[in-house]
């Protein structure tokens, strides 16, 4: 499937300016419809939910519709959708809510390829006698070995935490296979999907993850996030809201202080946008449209990734950090590299002059950068593209990068 790029780019007002945005893994540009929804909520239904008067009933319905939209987006039930400010905070909420189920001697498996959002919240349980075990990637290929995970599992393993796609490597991890290993060992699986969600259709039923979290501001929406949790798993979690919320009050017991209503309503625009892309490709509506929309997205991203990867691989000084394949099943369109002993900061600052936004550093995936000696170059250069980026933009980036390399 192919995208109508004129239509796509017209939906993002920021793209009409002079800058090219290739730092999308830090936050994508926002759809006009999302901004209009946020404004509409604040100007017409900015009241507390749950009351009997009409504006409150409308507000309550709008928040419910956001859960329905993301249930379509992830292929689950609306009652399995928890909302919050960011993935970082939602995983912290999840970690707190698992306190009653994690006992001294239990084990949690973490990876060194994850963003700190899916590491730091779990480390606090060490003080309670929970053991942290590290599933580390290969130092040369940066790949996680599934056989190694199988060897780490034992009767004390309660949770495995992993990213669906690394925000540095771009590598897509085999979540269903990881889930099968975790579940065979009696453990649950928590997946950080922030770097995956803008690029591919999500089907949590097929993936069989127990918890699956991503931030909507990486998926063309406002600064908001959603977490899927299997219904029985959510019911078993501790209540982290007021004392009078019992454990059956899902998802609200996991949303202390209530969610951001205007962001919840605005976020629906991101789901509807992907559905529209699929509908324009003739795929109908609902899940079918979402899957078709992401198929078109993946095809465009494969094209821009291939153009950039071909250039980078032609440079002897460049080392790709992660897979060099740009196959749709292998990676998303986030590409990181170093150039010999050159400072990544200097490379990025040279590109700034061309009005192209890329980035350097560790991107809060600090452990993989530190453990693999990438701090000596001030981290990696990261180019993170999405479907609204064009081949012409990649060519402009290449022209800016060439003298800097």
**pLDDT at position 250, please?**
97
> 3-class SS at 295?
helix
Residue 65 exposed, middle or buried by CB count within 10 Å (0-12, 13-18, 19+): middle
| 17 lies in some domain | yes
Q: Which residue in 174, 137, 178, 136 sits closest to 159, CA to CA?
A: 178
**Residue ranges of the chain with per-residue pLDDT less than 50:** none
**pLDDT at position 221, please?**
98
Instruction: Say what angle helices 261-280 and 54-74 make with each other, to 10 degrees.
Output: 50
Domain holding 103: CATH number? 3.40.640.10
Q: Does 72 share its domain with 107?
A: yes
**pLDDT at position 282, please?**
84
Q: Does 295 share its domain with 223?
A: no
C-alpha 59/C-alpha 52 separation (Å) is 11
Which of these three, 220, 243, 270, is where a domain ends?
A: 270
Beta-carbon count within 10 A of 104 CB:
9
- Classify residue 384 by its DSSP letter: E
| 280 lies in some domain | no
**pLDDT at position 344, please?**
98
Contact 304, 316 (CB under 8 A): no
- 239: β partners: none
Helix (H) or strand (E) holding 109: strand 107-111
Q: Does 226 share its domain with 136?
A: yes
Instruction: Say what angle helices 286-313 and 391-404 make with each other, to 10 degrees.
Output: 30
Domain holding 357: CATH number? 3.90.1150.10
Instruction: Please give the residue range of the domain that contains residue 386.
Output: 5-30+287-404
C-alpha 105/C-alpha 122 separation (Å) is 14
Q: Does 336 share its domain with 356?
A: yes
With a CB cutoff of 8 Å and minimum separation 6, the contacts of 35 are 13, 266
| 58 lies in some domain | yes
Q: Does 254 share its domain with 331?
A: no
Q: Does 21 share its domain with 55?
A: no
- For the stretch 331-387, pLDDT in tens is 999 999 999 999 999 999 999 999 999 999 999 999 999 999 999 999 999 999 999
Beta-carbon count within 10 A of 1 CB:
17
CA angle 315, 317, 323 (to 5 degrees): 75
Which of these three, 270, 300, 317, is where a domain ends?
A: 270
Which of these three, 215, 243, 270, is where a domain ends?
A: 270
**pLDDT at position 283, please?**
86
**pLDDT at position 281, please?**
86
Contact 160, 212 (CB under 8 A): no
Q: Does 99 share its domain with 41?
A: yes
Beta-carbon count within 10 A of 352 CB:
11
| 275 lies in some domain | no
Q: Does 222 share its domain with 292?
A: no
Contact 224, 240 (CB under 8 A): no
Residue 291 tokens, joined = 């899957």
| β-strand pairing of 107-111 with 131-135 | parallel
pTM for this model (two decimals): 0.97
The total of structural domains in the chain comes to: 2
Q: Does 24 share its domain with 100?
A: no
Contact 311, 399 (CB under 8 A): no
- For the stretch 259-299, pLDDT in tens is 999 999 999 999 999 999 999 988 888 999 999 999 999 99
**pLDDT at position 284, please?**
84
**Hunting for tokens 């950068």 — which residue is that?**
369
Beta-carbon count within 10 A of 295 CB:
17
Residue 184 tokens, joined = 């065979």
């Amino acid at each position: 499937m192919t995208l109508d790029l004129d239509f796509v780019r017209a939906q993002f007002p920021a793209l009409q300016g002079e800058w090219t945005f290739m730092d999308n893994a830090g936050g994508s540009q926002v759809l006009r419809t999302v901004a209009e929804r946020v404004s509409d909520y604040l100007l017409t239904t900015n009241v507390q939910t749950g009351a009997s008067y009409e504006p409150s009933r409308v507000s309550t319905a709008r928040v419910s519709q956001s859960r329905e939209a993301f249930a379509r987006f992830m292929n689950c039930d609306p009652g399995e959708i928890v909302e919050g400010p960011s993935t970082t905070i939602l995983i912290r909420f999840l970690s707190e809510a698992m306190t009653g189920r994690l006992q001294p001697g239990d084990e949690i498996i973490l990876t060194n390829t994850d963003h700190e959002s899916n590491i730091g919240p779990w480390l606090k349980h060490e003080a309670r006698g929970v053991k942290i075990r590290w599933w580390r990637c290969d130092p040369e290929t940066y790949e996680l070995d599934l056989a190694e995970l199988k060897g780490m599992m034992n009767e004390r393993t309660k949770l495995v935490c992993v990213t669906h796609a690394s925000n540095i490597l771009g590598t897509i991890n085999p979540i269903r296979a990881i889930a099968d290993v975790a579940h065979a060992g009696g453990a649950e699986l928590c997946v950080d999907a922030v770097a995956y969600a803008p690029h591919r259709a999500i089907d949590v039923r097929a993936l069989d993850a127990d918890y699956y979290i991503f931030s909507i501001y990486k998926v063309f929406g406002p600064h908001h996030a959603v977490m899927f949790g299997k219904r029985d798993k959510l019911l078993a979690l501790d209540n982290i809201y007021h004392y009078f919320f019992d454990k059956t009050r899902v998802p609200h017991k996991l949303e202390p202080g209530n969610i951001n209503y205007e962001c919840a309503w605005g976020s629906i625009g991101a789901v509807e946008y992907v559905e529209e892309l699929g509908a324009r490709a003739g795929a109908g509506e609902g899940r079918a449209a979402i899957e078709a929309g992401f198929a078109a997205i993946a095809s465009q991203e494969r094209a821009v990734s291939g153009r950039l990867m071909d250039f980078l691989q032609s440079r002897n000084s460049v080392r790709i950090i992660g897979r060099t394949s740009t196959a749709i099943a292998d990676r998303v369109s986030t590409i990181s590299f170093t150039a010999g002993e050159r400072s990544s900061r200097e490379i990025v600052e040279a590109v700034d002059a061309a009005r192209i936004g890329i980035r350097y550093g560790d991107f809060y995936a600090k452990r993989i950068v530190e453990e693999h000696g990438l701090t000596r170059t001030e981290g990696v250069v990261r180019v993170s593209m999405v479907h609204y980026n064009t081949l012409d933009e990649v060519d402009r980036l290449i022209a800016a990068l060439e003298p800097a390399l």
